[in-house]
Amino acid sequence: MTTKTDAPKHSPVIDSRDQLIASFARGEKPAERWRIGTEHEKFVYSHADHHAPSYDEPGGIRDLLMALTEFGWTPVLEGGKVIALTGADGSVSLEPAGQFELSGAPLENLHETCAETGRHLDQVKSVGERFDIGFLGLGMWPDKARAELPVMPKGRYDIMRRHMPRVGSLGLDMMLRTCTIQVNLDYASEADMVKKFRVGLALQPLATALFANSPFTEGKPNGMLSFRSHIWSDTDPHRTGMLPFVFEDGFGYERYADYALDVPMYFVYRDGRYIDAAGLSFRDFLRGELSVLPGEKPTLDDWTDHLSTAFPEVRLKTFLEMRGADGGPWSRICALPALWVGLLYDQGALDAAWDLVRDWSLEERQTLRDSVPRLALDAPLPGGGRLRDIAGAVLDIAHAGLAARGRGNFAGDNETGFLDPLREIVRSGKVPAEVLLERYHGAWGGDVSRVYEELSF
C-alpha cells in the first residue's frame, strides 16, 4: 500500500471537479519518457521459529529498517517512528503486518528493473542474516492466523483496520496476510490510457493465474490457488473489482474521476497525522462539507491520497497500476513487468492484445475473474475453452512487444528473456500453487513449514 514519504508544504486547493479530472492528464508522457515502476512485497520471519517479528522487538522490523540505512536509505518518520525509507531505488515501506515492500524507482527498461530488485534483495538478506531473519516469497502467509501477526505503527492502517470489518469479511486478511507484485506503467494520452486500461483489466485474470501462489491458510490447503485474489472478492465492494464502466463507450479521465469520487474515504492527512474519515464522501469534501474538517476543501495531495485507497484490479493515478499478481520468488518479480511492458508499451502488441479480448462481454470477463482464484489456468475462457488456451498466445504477443522495443543489456540481450519463467509455467501446465500443493501432498508429507526452505529469498 501507499506510504507517504514526504509532506508537501503547499498543495493546491481543489475548487472544482475539473481539477480532479485534469490531474490524470498531467500523467501523459511521450513514449520516449515511459518508465517502469515495479513494486514487490515479501513476508518477514524469524529463522528460529518462523514467527512474524513485531515492530519493537529486538531484531524486529524497526531494527531491520534502521540497518538498511547503512546502504544509503533515508528514514521516513511518522509519530517519531521510522515507517519507511527513501533512496535512489525508490522507497522501502511496511505493509500492515510488517510485510516489506520495495516500491521501485521509475526505470527505462527491464534490465534496470531486475538489477534494482537484485540490489534490494541483497541488502535485506544482508541485514536479515544479522538478525536471524528471513524473507518469504508467497501471496499469502501459509501458516499464520490473524491473531499471530503484529501491527505496524502507521496511522492509515489503524483507520483501515477499524473500517474493514464493516464492509467485508476478508479485508483484514488482505491487510495482514497477503503479498503482491505490481507494475506501474505510463500512457501517452487519454485514448492510450483507455486502451491500456481495458487490456489490463481483461487480461488481469491471466496474470493472476500465472502468478497464483497462495494455496495455504493456517497450515492447510485452502481450496484456492490464489487465495490472495479471492480475498479481494470480499474486502470492500465499493473500492474493488473489474470496473465494468471502463469498457463502456466514452470512458476516460472524467468517468474514472466520478468513480473515485464515489469511493468512500478512509482518512485525511493533516499536520503529520491521519484524521479518520472512513465512510465519508469526497464529494462532500469538495463542497467544503466534510464533517471532520468543516469548511475546509481538499488539496491535490488529498486527492492523490484518496486515489490510493481504491483497490480495483487495475488502478489509475497519473500512471496505471497492474494489481493482479501474488507475491513470489525473484525470477517472477522480473517476469511481471516483462508481461505488461511487452503487452502495453508497443503499439503492435497493444493492438494485438486488444483484438484478443475486445469481444468478451462484461459477464464473461467477470466470470473469468471470479473463477481464476480457484481454477487458475483452467478457468473458463470467454467463447469456450480454458484460460490456458490463450496463455501461450498472450506471451507470444508480449515477446513480440519486448523484441520490438529493442532494449538491450551490456551483453546485447533484449528483454524477452524475462518472460522465461512464465513460458515454463505454460509449458508445464502447472501454476506455482499447483506445484506447492504437489509438494505438500508428496515430499513435504503435509508439513507446510517446508515452504520456508523452498520459497525464501
The alpha carbons of the chain give a radius of gyration, in whole angstroms, of 21
Sequence-separated (6 or more) residues with CB below 8 Å from residue 405? 109, 341, 345, 346, 414, 415
pTM above 0.75, yes or no: yes
Contact 276, 166 (CB under 8 A): no
Task: Give the integer Cα–Cα distance in Å for 197 and 24.
Answer: 13
Task: Give the integer Cα–Cα distance in Å for 179 and 216.
Answer: 13
Task: Give the integer Cα–Cα distance in Å for 287 and 281.
Answer: 10
Position of cell 475486445?
A: 358
Between the alpha carbon of residue 265 and those of residues 31, 164, 191, the distances in Å are: 34, 12, 28
Domain 17-263+310-455 belongs in CATH node 3.40.50.2300: no
- Written as one string, the DSSP assignment of 121-158 is HHHHHHHHHHHTEEEE--SB-SS--GGGS-----HHHH
Helix, strand, coil % in the chain, rounded to nearest 5: 45, 15, 35
- Pairing mode of beta strands 311-312, 240-241: parallel
Task: Give the integer Cα–Cα distance in Å for 293 and 296.
Answer: 6
Task: Give the integer Cα–Cα distance in Å for 283 and 286.
Answer: 5
Residue 155 CA, chain-centre distance (Å), reads 20
Domain boundaries in the chain? 17-263+310-455
Position of cell 493482479?
A: 324
Please report, in tens digits, the pLDDT of each residue of the chain (457 residues total).
Answer: 666 655 556 899 999 999 999 999 999 999 999 999 999 999 999 999 999 999 999 999 999 999 999 999 999 999 999 999 999 999 999 999 999 999 999 999 999 999 999 999 999 999 999 999 999 999 999 999 999 999 999 999 999 999 999 999 999 999 999 999 999 999 999 999 999 999 999 999 999 999 999 999 999 999 999 999 999 999 999 999 999 999 999 999 999 999 999 999 999 999 999 999 999 999 999 999 999 999 999 999 999 999 999 999 999 999 999 999 999 999 899 999 999 999 999 999 999 999 999 999 999 999 999 999 999 999 999 999 999 999 999 999 999 999 999 999 998 899 999 999 999 999 999 999 999 999 999 999 999 999 999 999 9
| Nearest-10 crossing angle of helices 420-428, 190-210 | 50
Task: Give the integer Cα–Cα distance in Å for 125 and 366.
Answer: 40
Instruction: Collapse the DSSP code of 21 into the 3-class scheme (helix H, G, I; strand E, B; otherwise coil) and give the result.
Output: helix
- Pairing mode of beta strands 81-87, 180-185: unpaired
Beta strand segments in 203-283, E: 216-217, 220-221, 240-241, 267-270, 273-276
